[in-house]
A and B are shown apart, each in its own frame.
Chain A
Amino acid sequence: MSKRDSQTDVPQDATTPTTEDAGLSIGRRGFLAGSAAAVSAATVLPNLKTAKAQDGSPVKIGFIEDESGNLSVYGIQKLHAAQLAVKEINEGKTLKGGANIGTGGYGPLASYAANAPTISKEGVALDIVNAGGDMSGDATVFVEDDDVFVDSGDQGILGREVDLVSVDGQSNNALWQQLTRRLIQEDEVDVLVAGFASAEREAIRPIVDQFNQLYFYTNQYEGGVADANTFCTGPVCEQQVIPVVQYMVEKFGPRCYTIAADYNFGQLTAAWTKAFAPLVGGEIIGEEFVPLSVSEFSQVIARIQQAKPDWVMTLLVCQNHHNYYPQAAAAGLSYPMASTVNMAQGYEHKRFPPPSLNQMHNAIQYQLEVPTARNRAFVKRWMDMFPEDEYIGEMAQNTYFTVHMYAQAARLAGTTDQETVKRALELGWAIEAPEGAVFLEPGTHHCAHYIRLAVCDENHDVYFVREWPMIQAWWLQRLGVNLVRNPEYKQYVPDEDPFFSMFG
C-alpha cells in the first residue's frame, strides 16, 4: 500500500499540529496525541484499506444479538447497552481510559487518608515521618470516584456520527452467519459487536476471519479464543471458576457436585472446575451433564442427595435449566451453590420466588447490584433511557464499555480503518467501566477484570463478600499465545494444556 493511501487515513489537523490554538481541552489534546500515534502506526502498516473516513458518512457499528427467540432475555439487554453507548458517544461523552494507562483512584480495599503518608528516607524500616491525615475509612471503598463519565472532546467518532446497524439473530445460528455476511459485505460495518452463545460466536468467527473484520465478543464464556481479529471483552474461566471454587472450599468444605449444561460452555467450565478444585483442597465427588432439553429435575436432585456434597456447582444455562432452582428448593435441597453464570446474566434471583437461589455464590465482574458510585451513575443513565428495563446483566455492561472502548481506540488511531484500530487496541487498553477498571491485554485480546464474589441471601437480596480488583485472563498467556507477534485464528480447549489431565 502506498504512502499516499496511508496519509489519507489521517485527519488533516494531525499533520499540522502547530497550527492549533493553545487553549486545547484535555480531550482535544488526547485526540491529537492519538492522531500522532496513528501517523506512526499507519506508515508502517501494510495493506491499509483505502480510507472512506473523511467524507462525513457515519461510523457503522454492526451489531447482532438475539432480540427474539430463546436467548432474547440476554440479547435485548445487550442491544440496549449498545444503544446507550452509541447515544453517549454521539453526545460527546466517553468513559475515562486510554491506551496503556488507567485513570488511578483508590484501591477497592484500601485504607485511605486525607493525604498520603510520607516515608522516611533513612534505613529500610520504612518509618512514617508524616502520617498524612486521619484515616477516613477502610474496608470496601464506596466513595470511589464516580467521575469516570467524561467529555470525549469529540462528537461521535472523529466528528462522524455513530450509527448502530443492529440486526436480530433470532437465536438461530444459521441466520447469524447470513447476518454476519450481510453486515460485513453490504453494510461494510467498521466494527462488529456480536454474540451471546459460544455456538453463535463459533458460527460467525470463520466469516469474520475471512474478511479480517474487527470483531468484539462481549460475553462471559469458557475461554480459549485466540483470534487476531477477535477481541473478547467478557470474563473467562480462570477469572471466575477459581475464585469461587476457592471460596466455596474454604467456607463450606471440599466435596463438590457439578451439574452442567451439556454443551461446550458447560463441559469446558466443568473441566476447569475439576482441574482446579484439587489445587485449593477441593474434590469433585460427582459430575453430571444435563441435556439442554431436560426441564424436569427430580432425578438430578435425587442423585445429588445420594452423593451428599458440601456444595453444588451449577453451570446451567438455558431456560429449561433455570427450572432446576425452584424445583430443587421445593424438593428441600438446601446445599450452598456456586456458579459462573447465574444471577449476573439471567437475573434468576429476581425472577424466581425466594428462597430458590438462597446461598448462590457467583464470582462475577458485574451485575446490577455492584455497590459503587460509578455503577449507580451508570444504572441511572441506563434507566433514564430505558425506564421499562428490569435488569442490567454482566454482558450488557460488557457491551456498553466495549462500544466506548472501540470509540476511544478509533479516536487514538485517527481513523476507523479496521487494521489501524486493531493496532491501536493492541497497545493495551484500559477503560473505567461501570464494574471498575478493565484492561484489554494486547497479546491475548482478552480483558483483565474486576471480580466480585456475589452471594444471594434467602430473601434474594445480593451482597458481596470478597473482591479481586484485577484478575488477568492468564490462560492463553500460559499457552504462549501472542496475537501481536503470531496471529492465529483458533479456540484452545483444556485438552491442549497438559495441566488439565494431571487431575483428569
Chain B
Amino acid sequence: MEEFGLVISVVYQFGTNAAFLLLCALGLIVILGMMNIINLAHGELMMMGAYTASLSYQAGLPFPVCVAVSFLVVGFVGAVFERLVVRRFYGRELSALVVTWGISLLLSQGTLMVFGPFLPSIPIPGGSLDVGAYSLSVYWLILIAVSIAVVVALAWLYNRTTFGLHARATMQDAAMARALGVNTGRIYMLTFSLGAGLAGFSGALLAPTASIMPFMGQQFVAPAFITVVVGGAANVIAGAVGSSVLLSLVRTPVGFYLGAFLGLVALLLAALIIIRLMPNGVSAALLRWSDRRAQSG
C-alpha cells in the first residue's frame, strides 16, 4: 500500500505540474503561438479572469458558471484591446511587446487602485482523496481533466472548423486570405479575443488555488512563455502539450526527491537543453518524427 500510494502520488504530482503549465499557457498558445504577438499582458488577462471569478462567486454564482463568465468577460476585454491597440502592431513584434507590457502595468495598477490589495479567495471545490500516506486534491484532478479537454477542443476548433481554416490561413498569409474573401480583420479580433478569453478561463480555474491580488498574474507569465516557446510554432497546440509533458517529466522526480528549488532548476535546465537541441521547439521535432515514420511506413 505504501508503494502504491507513492506511485499514485508521483503520477498525481506529474499531472498537476503538467496541467499547471498547460493552463498557464492556454491563452498564450493562441496569442503568441498563432498570432505571433509577444503578449506581456498575458498574466494580467489571467488576473482579470480570477477577479471576475471571485466577484461573480461573491455575487452568489456557482463556481463553474463563474469560470464561464470569466471566459466571456476577458474575451470581450481582449476584443476591445485588439480593436483599440493591438491591431496597430501586427507584424511589429517588438512594438507589440512594449505595448502589451504597458497594458499589463495599467491593468495591474488600475486593479490595485479600484479593488485594493486583495479580493476574498474562492474556496477550493472538492475535498481530498487519501492514498496510503499521501492525499490528492480532487480539484487538481478536475483541473488535469479540464486542461486536457480544452486542448482537445482547441485542436478541434483549429483543424476541423471553417473558422479554424480561416484563422490558419490569415496567420499564414493575410493578404492571400483577404484575396480569397476572408475578413481578416474580424479573424484577428476573434483570435485575439479567444486567446484572451482562454487566459481569463484558466485564471478563473487557478483562482481558488491562488491569492486574488492585482499582481497575481506575474506568477503565470514565465511558465506560460516557457511552455509555448519550448513547444515551438510548427504546431502550437501539440507543441504546448509536448513541452508541458516533457518539462513535467523532468521536474516531478527532481522536485519530489530533491525539493522545490532543484525542481525549478531542473525545469529551467530542461527548457534550455530542449531549445538547444530542438531550436524550432518540440512541435517541429514531433512533426519531423511523424513525417519520417510516414515515409518509412
B63, CB-defined interface residue at 8 Å: no
> Which of chain B's residues have a CB closer than 8 A to the CB of A388?
116
Whether A291 pairs with B260 at a CB distance below 8 angstroms is: yes
The answer to the question of A106 belonging to the interface, with a C-beta cut-off of 8 Å to chain B, is: no
Residues of chain B at interface, number, CB under 8 A:
50
Q: Give chain A nearest CB distance to B274 CB in angstroms.
A: 19
Cβ of B211 < 8 Å from any Cβ of A? yes
How many residue pairs between the two chains, A and B, have CB atoms under 8 Å in the bound complex?
120
Are B264 and A330 neighbours in the complex by a CB distance under 8 Å? no
Q: Report B191-222 residues with CB < 8 Å from chain A CB.
A: 208-211, 213-216, 218-219, 222
Which residues 1-47 of B have a CB within 8 angstroms of A? 6, 9-10, 12-13, 16-17, 20
Q: In the complex, what's the smallest C-beta–C-beta distance from A459 to chain B, in angstroms?
A: 13
Kindly state whether residue A351 has any CB partner on chain B within 8 Å: yes
Q: Is the CB of B136 within 8 A of A331?
A: yes
Q: A73-B118, A351-B121 are in contact. Are A293 and B252 (CB under 8 A)?
A: no
Residue of chain B at shortest CB distance from A348? B211
Contact yes or no, B261 A331, CB < 8 A: no
Cross-chain contact B16 with A290 (CB below 8 angstroms): no
Residues of chain B within 8 A of A72, CB atoms compared: 112, 117, 214
> Which segment, of A51-59, A301-309, A368-376, A481-489, faces chain B?
A301-309
CA distance A398 to B134 in the complex (A): 42
- Kindly identify, within residues 219 to 258 of chain A, every residue whose CB is under 8 Å from any CB belonging to chain B: none
Q: How many residues of A contact B (CB 8 A)?
A: 39
Give chain B residues whose Cβ lies under 8 Å from the Cβ of A305.
9, 133-135
Are B264 and A294 touching (Cβ within 8 A)? yes
A351 to B123, CA, bound (A): 11
A77 to B, closest residue via Cβ: B117
Q: Does A117 contact B (CB under 8 A)?
A: no
State the CA gap A332–B86 with chains docked (Å).
Answer: 44
Interface residues of A in 317-368 (CB under 8 A from B): 319-320, 322-323, 326-327, 329-333, 351-353
B264 in contact with A293 (CB, 8 Å)? yes
Residues of A in contact with B (beta carbons under 8 Å apart): 68-70, 72-73, 76, 262, 288-291, 293-296, 298-300, 302-303, 305-306, 308, 319-320, 322-323, 326-327, 329-333, 351-353, 388, 390
**Those 7 A-B pairs whose CB atoms lie nearest each other, nearest first:** A332-B128, A330-B124, A73-B117, A332-B135, A353-B123, A298-B16, A331-B137
Beyond the given pairs A69-B215, A72-B112, A323-B209, 11 more chain A to chain B contacts, judged by CB atoms under 8 angstroms and listed by A's residue number, are A73-B117, A296-B16, A299-B17, A302-B12, A302-B134, A303-B259, A305-B9, A319-B211, A323-B210, A331-B135, A332-B128
Point out residues on B near A: beta carbons under 8 Å. Answer: 6, 9-10, 12-13, 16-17, 20, 109, 112, 116-118, 120-124, 126-130, 133-140, 208-211, 213-216, 218-219, 222, 252, 255-256, 259-261, 263-264
Question: 5 A–B contact pairs at CB < 8 A?
Answer: A296-B209, A298-B13, A326-B209, A330-B127, A353-B121
